[in-house]
């Protein structure tokens, strides 16, 4: 698949077929993640693959609790709409994956991570985006679940204290790749015109795009 096509057809996936991901495809997707840029070539990520259903059931429980709490941010019709949204596929997907960031990897000082100390986290997000796009090119869906309590997730997965869970992902063959984001389809949010987000020389100064 051509890169721009993968970018434009990538979707967050919450509904999965049960079919397992072939090991060679999974290995390619993880290798694509591992080829992301990282500050000082730190490669701070790990990939915790979670097949085990009892573990995933515990994670789903955190989601349920956090999702119920999140619904309280809304009232009336908006709350009803929020409650109707499917925002994870933890148990339906054949595989879950927690992408972590080891904040101590490569020692106390890493080239480039001096004044912008969260660049290890940014690097991990670059790996996640690589993974998401590589998966799309392979016809595999990825859904990011952030409605999660990180410390409980850390405990369930035995992640050491100096390692942050950055993304909890559900992975598998999707029921469909929608044309548009689900949140757009249900009228929750829509894409901002990119032109509105681009400034020239200083904040707020428009760019004419020519």
Among 71, 91, 95, 183, binds ligand FMN (CB under 6 A): 183
Q: Which CB, 87 or 126, lies closer to ligand FMN? A: 87
The answer to whether 12 contacts ligand FMN (rule: CB under 6 A) is yes
Least Å distance, CB 202 to ligand FMN, is 28
The answer to whether 146 contacts ligand FMN (rule: CB under 6 A) is yes
For the sheet with 163-172, list strands across it.
Answer: 45-50, 95-102, 163-172, 141-145
Q: Which CB, 88 or 102, lies closer to ligand FMN? A: 88
Least Å distance, CB 25 to ligand FMN, is 20
Choose one: 38-46, 103-111, 143-151, 194-202; the region binding ligand FMN (CB under 6 A). Answer: 143-151
Least Å distance, CB 22 to ligand FMN, is 24
The answer to whether 11 contacts ligand FMN (rule: CB under 6 A) is yes
Location of structure tokens 């995933």: 56
For the chain, the C-alpha Rg in angstroms (whole number) is: 19
Q: From residue 65 to residue 94, what is the string marking binding to ligand FMN with x (rule CB under 6 A)?
A: ----------------------xx------
Q: Which residues bind ligand FMN (CB under 6 A)?
A: 11-12, 14, 87-88, 144-147, 181, 183
């Amino acid at each position: 698949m051509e890169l721009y096509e993968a970018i434009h057809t990538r979707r967050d996936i919450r509904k999965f077929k049960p079919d397992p991901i072939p090991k060679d495809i999974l290995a390619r997707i993880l290798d694509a993640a591992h080829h992301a840029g990282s500050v000082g070539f730190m490669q701070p990520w790990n990939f915790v693959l979670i097949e085990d259903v009892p573990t995933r059931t515990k994670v789903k429980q955190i989601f349920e609790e956090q999702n119920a709490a999140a619904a309280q941010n809304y009232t009336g019709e908006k709350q009803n709409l929020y409650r109707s949204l499917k925002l994870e596929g933890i148990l339906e997907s054949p595989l879950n994956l927690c992408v972590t960031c080891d904040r101590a990897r490569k020692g106390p000082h890493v080239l480039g991570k001096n004044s912008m100390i969260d660049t290890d986290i940014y690097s991990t997000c670059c790996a996640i985006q690589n993974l998401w796009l590589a998966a799309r090119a392979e016809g595999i869906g990825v859904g990011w679940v952030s409605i999660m309590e990180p410390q409980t997730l850390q405990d369930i997965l035995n992640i050491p204290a100096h390692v942050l869970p950055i993304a909890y992902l559900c992975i598998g063959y999707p029921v469909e790749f929608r044309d548009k984001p689900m949140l757009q389809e249900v009228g929750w949010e829509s894409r901002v015109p990119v032109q509105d987000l681009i400034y020239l020389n200083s904040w707020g100064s428009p760019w004419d795009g020519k």
